[in-house]
Amino acid sequence: MERRKCKRKKVRIEAEMVSGDTTCTGMIENISEQGIYLETDSTGPLNTSTRFSPGTQFQVRFQTPDGETLKLDCRVMWSFKTGPYGLRKKIGMEVIFPPPAYIDFCNTPDD
């Protein structure tokens, strides 16, 4: 049975994750009004410094297909390595106080 509070929207958007003075990139795979699921390279500098452990906070930055830049404060809820040799990391994040522009983007119809 599905436990999600909000409907997920499939996307494929490159994102930047910032923690302190360290930045890495990833690919957002789906979004909801309260969360983001993304994948990233598990060998980058951000992974060794924070390990994406639950509770870690990031600013996630990305551009919508319309060109609007969104900056979201997020908290890691879960993460795990996948793929051969653990080269990718899947990460589920909660969006902290989602801004109206992000909620609007979540609710726009798929193309």
Render pLDDT for 49-88 as a digit per residue (tens, 0 to 9): 456 789 989 999 999 988 999 999 999 999 887 766 557 7
Per-residue confidence (pLDDT) for residue 1, from 0 to 100: 45
pLDDT average, residue stretch 106-111: 81
What distance in Å separates the CA atoms of residue 46 and residue 103, rounded to the nearest whole number?
27
Which of 29, 31, 39 minimizes the C-alpha distance to 101? 31
- Residue scoring higher pLDDT (19 or 97): 97
Tokens of 4: 């999600």
- Domains located in the chain, CATH noted: 9-107 (2.40.10.220)
Beta-carbon contacts of residue 108 (< 8 Å; ≥ 6 apart)? none
Share of the chain above pLDDT 90, in %: 53
Beta-carbon contacts of residue 44 (< 8 Å; ≥ 6 apart)? 24
